[in-house]
Structure 1
Amino acid sequence: MRSLLLDTGSSATLSKLGGIWVNDTALGAAGESWAQWACESDLVPACASRGQLRASGDARGRYGLARLRMVGDATLELTEGVTALGAAELWVEDTASLTLPELPAQQFRLLARDSLTVATGAAITADGRGYVQNQRHTSCGSGPARWGGFHGGGPAGKACGDYEWPTLAGAGGTPGTGAGGTGGGSLIILCNASASSEVSINGTVSARGTTGGGTGSYAYAGGAGAGGSILIVASRMSGWGTVSADGGDARTGNPSATFL
Structure 2
Amino acid sequence: RLVGLPLAYALAASDATVTLAHRASPDLPALCASADILVSSAGSPALVQGEWCKPGAVVVNVGTTYDEASRQLLPDLQPDLEAFRHTSLVVSSPGGVGPLSLAILFRNLIAATSCSTLVTAGATTATPAVPHAELLKWLHSQKWSLTSAAPHASRALLRELDFASHADAASFLSASGAAGDELDHHPACSELLHRCAEGVRITMKLFTTTTADVTSFDLALARSIDELYAGYTDQKG
Q: Provide the TM-score with structure 1 as the length reference.
A: 0.24
Q: Which has the higher contact order (CA 8 A, sep 6+)?
A: 1
Which structure's CA Rg is the greater one?
Answer: 2
